[in-house]
Amino acid sequence: MPLFLCRWPNGDWSVVLASNEQDALIKLDEIANAEECPLVQLDAFQVHFHLTDDGELLLDGFGETTEEEISDICYPVLDEVKGQVQMEPDGRPGWLSGPAGAPASGRHADMSSGHPAVIPTAFPASWTQALVPVTR
């Protein structure tokens, strides 16, 4: 039986075992209406859980192929955007580099106050595409 991945508009995703796409939509309706959401049949799916000392199951992670496939389907430009973040030697996130529009000075965000010291008024479209829902 096929396994389908649904990418929700808010960036979340669900996986459902269903006989076909229509059956998947019916099952996903338990969460929300998925008719306008991208629905993709997965070729592989591997997930790992950890049993805690308290007897609760925690998500431990996904198989490498599964994580790559989910990333490609749900967040196609996220890796590109993440590759533009410079980490400072002290572990603080640096400013996005590379795309036009990155500030020339003050490249890192001062998070000591809990808020970045440099806040751009507009982001280049390539920076925000990772957050835009994928369309069918």
Burial pattern 36-73, b for ≥16 Cβ within 10 A else e, equals: ebbbbeeeeeeeeeeeeeeeeeeeeebeeebeebbeee
Q: pLDDT tens digits for the chain (136 residues)?
A: 999 999 999 999 999 999 999 999 999 999 999 999 999 999 889 999 999 999 999 999 999 999 999 988 898 888 777 766 666 777 776 655 444 444 444 444 444 444 443 333 344 444 444 444 444 4
Position 12 scores a pLDDT of 93
Q: What is the pLDDT of residue 95?
A: 54
> What is the pTM for the complete model shown?
0.59
What 3-state class would DSSP assign to 19?
coil
pLDDT attached to residue 59: 93
